[in-house]
Amino acid sequence: MRLKFNFHCEKSITIPLCYYYSLQGMLYHFLSSKLSQKIHDEGFRFGKRVFKMFVFSRIFGKTKALLNSDKKLLTIYPPNFYFFVSSAYEDFLQDLVLQFLKKGKGENLRLSKTDVFLEKIEVIPFPLKDVGERESLEVIVKTLSPITVHRTFSDKKGDRKEKIHYYSPFEEEFTKLIRDNLDRKWKAFYKEELPQDEINSFLIKPVRVNKKRGLKVVNYKGYWVKGWMGEFYLKGSRRIIEFAWDVGLGARNSQGFGMFDIKSVI
């Protein structure tokens, strides 16, 4: 399930261009303390990996990036802006809505040290519910935040220094890493295996992804993360595509990477 957070602003506000950490922090702050601690500290485990099982989008509205200053900034113009939050964990989304209802309309929240006015929350269900769970779907999706996948390597044999390689949609490993990541998240959340033929049949391919403008480099807490924006072809069972719609594609979903919307069905 997905929530759309609608904000109102009387005048323009300016935040850092790399605002993902601030947006994540606002979501945690908005949760009840009990659930915030559960999601942040525990999450859902598969082996040594821990998944938060939520994803959020970039900010949408009338915006302008200011790239000439020492601090790269984003200006958001009135009257409205919005972003999306999705999760397969219904308690997480229900808690967000409950806290909003408790505090009431007009609650001021802070986004990167700036007060913002939360006007309303809309609930958006998965749009393809009329298809059987295991029926295969082919869809074109549009990213709402960059998709990122990577591997970590040692620079030299025996050297403790590590190097991160971020894969592009034009490399074969991109599909495999996203598929493996989805499989692990499924096992962590549902505590069950997906049939091998079902997970192996999942495909993702770039459709309209610009090799230069599609690459987004985001600073998250001092680390530079590479991700990709654009349109992609997805093929897989309805339940896998719905799960990906809920929790995001690729890595770092709870940091604001990997959200997409379904543009069309093939």
Question: Which candidate, 251, 184, 249, places its Cα nearest to that of 44?
Answer: 184
- For residue 226, with 0-12 CB atoms within 10 Å meaning exposed, 13-18 middle and 19 or more buried, which class applies? middle
Q: How far apart are CA 173 and CA 107, in angstroms?
A: 45
Q: What is the pLDDT of residue 209?
A: 98
Q: How far apart are CA 222 and CA 224, in angstroms?
A: 7
Cβ neighbours around 73 below 10 Å, total: 18
Q: How far apart are CA 242 and CA 130, in angstroms?
A: 12
Q: Where are the domains of the chain?
A: 2-124, 136-265
Q: What is the pLDDT of residue 28?
A: 87
Residue at token pair 């339940």:
239
Point out the least confidently predicted range of 43-52, 112-121, 232-241. Answer: 112-121
- Indicate if 136-265 has the same CATH topology as 2-124: yes
- Read out DSSP for 145-180? S-B--EEEEESSTT---EEEEEPPTTSHHHHHHHHH
Q: What is the pLDDT of residue 21?
A: 92
The arithmetic mean of pLDDT across residues 162-166, rounded, is: 89
**CATH 1.10.287.610 is the classification of domain 2-124:** no
Q: What is the pLDDT of residue 107?
A: 57
DSSP structure class, residue 212: T
Q: What is the pLDDT of residue 105?
A: 55
Q: What is the pLDDT of residue 68?
A: 74
Pick the CATH number of 136-265 from 3.10.20.30, 3.40.50.1860, 3.90.850.10, 3.30.70.1900: 3.30.70.1900
Point out the least confidently predicted range of 18-22, 23-27, 98-102, 105-109. Answer: 105-109
Span 91-122, pLDDT tens digits: 999 998 888 777 655 556 667 677 778 888 99
Span 189-221, pLDDT tens digits: 999 999 999 999 999 999 999 999 999 999 998
Mean of all residue pLDDT scores within the chain: 91
Cβ neighbours around 49 below 10 Å, total: 14
